[in-house]
Amino acid sequence: MKLDNDLTQDAELAGKLEEAEDVRRAIIHGEVDAFVIGEDNNRRVMLLANAYQRYRQVVERMAQGAITVNERGNILYANQRLAEMLSMPLARLYTAPIDTYVELNDRARLASFLLLSSRDSTIEVNLVRGDRAPLPVRLSLATLTDGYSTLLITDLRPMQWPSLTVDALDAIRDTVEKLNQRLSGDAEARESLASISEQINGLARMIDEMLDVENPGTKRTSSA
Amino acid sequence: MSNPERWDLRLYTAGQSPKSLAALSNLKRICDKHLPGRYTIEVIDLMKNPRLAKDDEIVAIPTLVRKLPAPLRKIIGDLSDEERALVGLQLRPHRNGGQK
């Protein structure tokens, strides 16, 4: 029994020694660029290049999708925003060919773009979301390093917020109108409601102006 | 070489760090070449959740862990040395003869 335990311990020690030697070798050959420091729940990753850390924070927080592919178009990195745009778990994007998420008709154009384009070039294609719905996007080639291409991805769908805001304002308007009818005998209440209506109309005009800048001639709101 | 079983591989990365990108690219190439159609790669980004390093006691990044077939194996580094990666994965005999 003791012999068995000794053999098990020897095997564990040999494994740990082998791993330590592998870490040492990888460091000497420059094959690692980050370390996990701390223990238990206090672990954190220490990157060898601080500049990269700042870059990464920008990529993770920006409103655009970002993706890095190798020379064969396999996804090596994607930010959370892209996963949201595609309605796809982030983990499923890794190593998948980028083609998987591009409409069939756009694949050849994208392949040639990745092969031939220089930094800051752009292309517009339709991506395919998890629910198979097309997602029109603009891809901008941000960096080209060591055969890897990093692309920034901008959603080209019309913004959703104006129509949602208009809907919300319309709902408020309806409520104000109902209150107006119920409180017809209360002068003070009617004055307050008139003030609210004025505020709503002000907001509606602001939205109209913003929409007009983006799409001249498009008016989407009405006054109370 | 006859390895009919599924290979479950887990790669620990640090976001988009150069060595992490290189490791994933190299791993994909190696798997497509030597394990076509019978491998899965799970990427664990420790920048997002460093606590997951505990599971496989990861200290350096990138690190590849072969979960299946057993026994568990770890290969540290960007897998740029394909020969070494193959030996580490036990897809190729160790250079000095026997299996490592």
| Residue with the larger pLDDT of the pair A140 and B1 | A140
Cβ-Cβ contacts under 8 Å for A60 (sequence gap 6 or more) = A79, A80, B15
Report whether pLDDT(A143) > 80: no
pLDDT above 60: residue B35: yes
pLDDT at A201: 85
Q: What pLDDT is recorded for position A69?
A: 92
- Closest partner residue to B21 (CB to CB) among A35, A40, A148 is A148
The share of chain A scoring above pLDDT 90, in percent, equals 29
Specify the pLDDT at position B42: 95
Task: Determine what percent of chain B is predicted with pLDDT higher than 70.
Answer: 89
Question: Which pLDDT score is estimated for B31?
Answer: 95
Residue A217: pLDDT above 60? no
Q: What are the strands, taking DSSP E only, across chain A?
A: 34-37, 44-47, 65-69, 75-78, 122-128, 134-145, 148-155
**C-alpha span between A56 and B29 (Å, rounded):** 25
Contact call for A31 and B58, based on CB within 8 A: no
Q: Say which residues have a Cβ less than 8 Å from residue A191's Cβ, sequence separation at least 6.
A: none
* Higher per-residue pLDDT: B1 or B92: B92
Per-residue pLDDT at A186: 86
Residues 6+ apart with CB under 8 A from B95: B83, B87
Chain B interface with A: residues with Cβ < 8 Å: 14-22, 24-25, 27-29, 41-43, 46-47, 50-51, 53-54, 58-62, 74-78, 80-81, 88
User: Rounded CA gap, B63 and B77, in Å?
Assistant: 6
The residue ranking higher by pLDDT, B72 or A205, is B72
**A91, B42: Cβ pair inside 8 Å?**
yes
Does residue A153 register a pLDDT over 90?
A: yes
pLDDT digits (tens, 9 = 90+) for B57-100: 999 999 999 999 988 999 999 999 999 999 999 888 765 544 43
Residue of B76, B79, B100 for testing the chain A interface, max A β-carbons within 10 Å: B76
Residue A219 or B38, more confident: B38
Tell me if chain B has a CB within 8 Å of the CB of A21.
no
- Residue A150 CA to residue A142 CA, distance in Å, equals 5
Q: What confidence tens digit (pLDDT) does each residue in A64-118 have?
A: 899 999 988 999 999 999 999 999 999 899 999 999 999 999 999 999 998 887 7
B50 Cβ neighbours under 8 A, 6+ residues apart: A36, A38, A43, A44, A45
Least confident among A81-95, A168-182, A199-213, B46-60? A199-213
- A1 Cβ under 8 Å from any chain B Cβ: no
List Cβ neighbours of B92 (8 Å cut-off, separation of 6 or more): B83, B86
pTM: 0.64
The beta-carbon neighbor of B58 closest among A22, A31, A36 is: A36
User: Within an 8 Å CB–CB cutoff, is residue A148 touching chain B?
Assistant: yes
Q: List CB contacts (< 8 A) between A94 and chain B.
A: 24, 41, 43
Cβ-defined contact of B74 to A95 (cutoff 8 Å) = no
What does the pLDDT average to over A34-59? Answer: 78
Where helices occur in chain B by DSSP H, the ranges are 18-34, 82-88
Rounded distance between C-alpha atoms, residue B79 and residue A71, angstroms: 17
CB-nearest to A35 from B27, B43, B59 is B59
Contacts of B74 in chain A (CB under 8 A): 19, 22
Q: Residue B23: is its pLDDT beyond 50?
A: yes
Q: Measured between CA atoms, how close is A40 to chain B, in angstroms?
A: 7
Q: Buried (b) or exposed (e) across A34-73, using 16+ Cβ within 10 A?
A: bbbeeeeeebebebbeeebbeebeebeeeebbbbbbbeeb
pLDDT given for residue A125 in this prediction: 95
pLDDT tens digits, one per residue of A104-139: 999 999 999 988 877 778 999 999 999 999 999 999
> In this complex, which of A22, A31, A76 lies closest to B24 when CB atoms are compared?
A76
Q: Residue range A157-172: average pLDDT?
A: 77
Helices (H), A29-148: 50-61, 80-86, 90-93, 107-116
For position A37, what pLDDT does the model report? Answer: 87
Which structure tokens are listed for A19?
Answer: 């791993």
Range A144-162 average pLDDT: 80
Give the span between the Cα atoms of B20 and A33, in whole angstroms. 8
At B100 the pLDDT is 39
From the list B42, B60, B80, the residue facing A35 with the nearest CB is B60
What is the per-residue pLDDT for A212?
A: 67
Q: In this complex, do A77 and B42 lie within 8 Å of one another by their Cβ atoms?
A: no
Length of chain A: 224
Quote the CA–CA distance of A123 and A109 in Å, as a whole number.
9
Which stretches does DSSP call E strand in chain B?
Answer: 7-13, 39-45, 60-61, 63-68, 73-76
In this complex, the residue of B24, B59, B78 whose CB is nearest that of residue A31 is B78
